[in-house]
């Protein structure tokens, strides 16, 4: 079976909305000529057809803005400040962000806006309020390229999966993230401090650390205690030394054959 390119599917889904304004404009033209005996010049019809889509889009955007304001007023909510932009659709901010990323840190432009507008503001990028919700997951697919980047660190878990695999992981983990369970910050703090202290000890001795191994151990220890009530304590085995370490290995703890270490490796 031949796979249909996503671009064609995207256009096919939105074609009715794109074609509706010109079609309705032309039907109105025919109605005016046949039933109202109004003769409209050809140039006016062409202009109306050309402007029908931009006008319809503008009306839709303004309607969404008014609807959001009405909903906020109905619930007694206060809308976040809108990011001022000289260009429509937030294009000015996007261009400044892209230009700034070439000569400075990419996050500097965003940090500057935080200082001007506060920690919460609405940029309305491309005329839309951007939000990542559980009901919008399909609109924020990671795609094969991003999954390839995340795979070495996150594997195929919930943070690096798409589609049915993501739904499976989410269904498995969702019961553990209820309000009475996500407040156990001391669990993550304790294991995080353990991992950081062990890294500091190695750094002071001038010994490099495999950061991916540290993250794997921290994640496994914190997750097993958080989800299962008991930690496998893989960090207690100590961090592995680099294969080319020239120190006296007779005094070092050999972690390669320890059970916890093997348990960590089974997840990577």
pLDDT in tens, the chain (268 residues): 567 777 788 788 888 888 888 888 888 888 887 877 777 788 888 888 888 888 988 898 889 889 988 998 998 888 888 888 888 888 888 888 788 777 777 777 788 888 888 888 888 888 877 666 666 677 677 888 888 888 887 788 777 888 888 888 888 877 766 666 666 788 889 999 999 999 999 898 888 888 888 998 998 888 888 877 888 888 888 888 887 776 655 444 554 445 666 666 665 5
User: In the structure encoding, which two tokens stand for residue 182, read together?
Assistant: 């996500």
CA atoms 84, 86, 88, 94: torsion sign: negative
Q: Identify the residue whose tokens are 């050309």.
A: 50
61, 124 Cβ separation under 8 angstroms: no
Q: What is the pLDDT of residue 199?
A: 92
258, 237 Cβ separation under 8 angstroms: yes
220, 267 Cβ separation under 8 angstroms: yes
Cα distances (angstroms) measured from residue 148 to each of 53, 106, 220: 39, 22, 22
Q: What is the pLDDT of residue 256?
A: 46
- How far is 116 from 46, CA to CA, in rounded Å? 45
Q: What is the pLDDT of residue 257?
A: 44
10 Å Cβ neighbour count for 21? 20
Q: Identify the residue whose tokens are 């039907």.
A: 27
Q: Which residues contact 161 (CB under 8 A, 6 or more apart)?
A: 142, 147, 169
CA atoms 247, 253, 255, 257: torsion sign: positive
Cα distances (angstroms) measured from residue 4 to each of 1, 7, 8: 9, 8, 7
Of 156, 157, 183, 79, the residue nearest 124 (C-alpha): 79
Domain extents in the chain: 6-74, 88-162, 184-265
């Amino acid at each position: 079976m031949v796979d249909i390119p996503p671009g064609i599917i995207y256009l096919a889904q939105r074609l009715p909305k794109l074609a509706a304004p010109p079609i309705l404009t032309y039907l109105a033209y025919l109605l005016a000529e046949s039933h109202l005996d109004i003769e409209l010049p050809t140039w006016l019809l062409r202009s109306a057809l050309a402007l029908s889509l931009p006008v319809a889009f503008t009306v839709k955007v303004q309607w969404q803005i008014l609807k959001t304001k009405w909903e906020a007023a109905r619930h007694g909510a206060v809308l976040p400040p809108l990011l001022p932009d000289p260009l429509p659709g937030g294009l000015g901010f996007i261009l400044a962000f892209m230009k700034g990323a070439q000569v400075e840190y990419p996050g500097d432009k965003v940090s500057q806006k935080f200082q001007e507008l506060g920690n919460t503001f609405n940029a309305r990028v491309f005329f839309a309020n951007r939000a990542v919700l559980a009901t919008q997951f399909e609109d924020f697919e990671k795609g094969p390229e991003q999954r390839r980047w995340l795979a070495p660190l996150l594997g195929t878990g919930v943070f690096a999966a798409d589609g049915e695999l993501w739904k499976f992981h989410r269904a498995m983990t969702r019961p553990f993230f209820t309000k009475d369970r996500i407040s156990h910050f001391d669990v993550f703090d304790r294991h995080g401090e353990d991992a950081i202290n062990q890294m500091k000890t190695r750094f002071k001795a001038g010994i490099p650390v495999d950061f991916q191994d540290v993250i794997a151990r921290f994640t496994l220890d914190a997750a097993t205690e958080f989800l299962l009530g008991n930690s496998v304590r893989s960090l207690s085995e100590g961090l592995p030394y680099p294969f080319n370490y020239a120190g006296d290995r007779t005094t070092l703890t050999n972690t390669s054959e320890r059970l916890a270490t093997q348990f960590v490796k089974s997840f990577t």
